[in-house]
Amino acid sequence: MKYDNSGLTLVTDEVEAGAIRWRSPSNIALVKYWGKHGDQLPRNASVSFTLDAAATDTTLHYTPRQQLGEGIDLELYLDGNPRVDFAERTRTFFSKLLPIYPFLRQLSFRVETQNSFPHSAGIASSASGMSALALCLVSLEEALFEPLTDRGAFYRKASFLARLGSGSASRSVYGSAAVWGKSEAVADSSDEYAVSIADRLHPVFQTYHDDILLVSREEKSVSSRAGHGLMEQNPYAPPRYDQANRRVTEMLRLLMEGDTENFGQLLESEALTLHALMMSSRPYYTLIEPNTLHVIKLLQHYRRETGHPVHFTLDAGPNVHLLYPDAIAGEVKDFIRGHLLPYCEDKLYLADRVGKGPQQLAANTTTSVR
């Protein structure tokens, strides 16, 4: 797919300053993608639930640039504080998009963003952050030029752009659940953008809970970007990619059938496989912490005692996601508060669930671009 368009340039004298705001959720991969090639392309397909409470709220302020420059004129504020490192990453992202959006050099930008959860603690903040930014950009394109053909085209383009910033961000532009990566099980799937599989979910999974136990709110010692790079020399990488693609097909079948028990078994195996790949890299690294294992052991005991289909998964970090159906929500939350919170930093957890996807919000224009 090619979105390059040299014709998307502005007559800056005719452009008024404005702002666009999107709230986009994080997502939790059920079948993990770990390893990439080319320009943010996945080595294997992946499946994810889109979350609800764990989200990034981003406002993109823009104003005509007084003098055209070679680079991107941008500043970024996280929770009201300037972040030079994030601004540089965002400028790099915007620069990558210049063949698609040449008008980015004609505007000055101020990005104001905030997360509802700890950044870089393994809750896919890059997924929510980059998807929110991509949605702002496609909305900006429509505001400055003309609407895309339909909403499907809008979200597909947003997913394509988000992928260039963070691979998993491609899935966050869709509510409920998504697949990213070419899979024989999904006819319209692609390595270049994600597709929605909301219509494939059994009712039990449409209201599934995902409570995130914050074992640690510290930033990860190894970034996901670095972790993906280490897969190139990992001896287990080729069979893992084959396994993951088979598991995507299996996971989609379980999601359609409403099979919570086998869903949970596959979910947990995927979580441990992800961390096994980290520990078998060279150099190896571990993101699981002692309290992560304490939580998992207590969960296994609880499941044996009650028979409840509550299972765990892990992202690239120490925090534990507990996934379970809505019918047992009250009992599981009592278990979390009574037995698991002592293993969480500051006894905190984020109660979340499968969500409806991103929302465009009214932009707060009281703070203008300088």
pLDDT of residue 155: 98
Distance separating alpha carbons of residues 174 and 23, to the nearest angstrom: 12
**Residue ranges of the chain that CATH labels 3.30.230.10:** 12-199
Could you say which of 1.20.1440.230, 3.30.70.890, 3.30.70.3270, 3.40.50.800 is the CATH number of the domain covering 205-353?
3.30.70.890
Q: Which of 10-14, 121-125, 232-236, 284-288 has the lowest mean pLDDT?
A: 121-125
Give tens-digit pLDDT for 331-351: 999 999 999 999 999 998 999
**Residue ranges of the chain that CATH labels 3.30.70.890:** 205-353
Residue 52 has pLDDT above 70, yes or no: yes
Give tens-digit pLDDT for 266-323: 999 999 999 999 999 999 999 999 999 999 999 999 999 999 999 999 998 899 999 9
Architecture of domain 12-199: 2-Layer Sandwich (3.30)
pLDDT of residue 119: 60
State mean pLDDT over 88-98.
97
Residue 367 has pLDDT above 50, yes or no: no
What are the residues whose beta carbons fall under 8 Å from the beta carbon of 317, sequence distance 6 or more? 121, 122, 123, 216, 220, 287
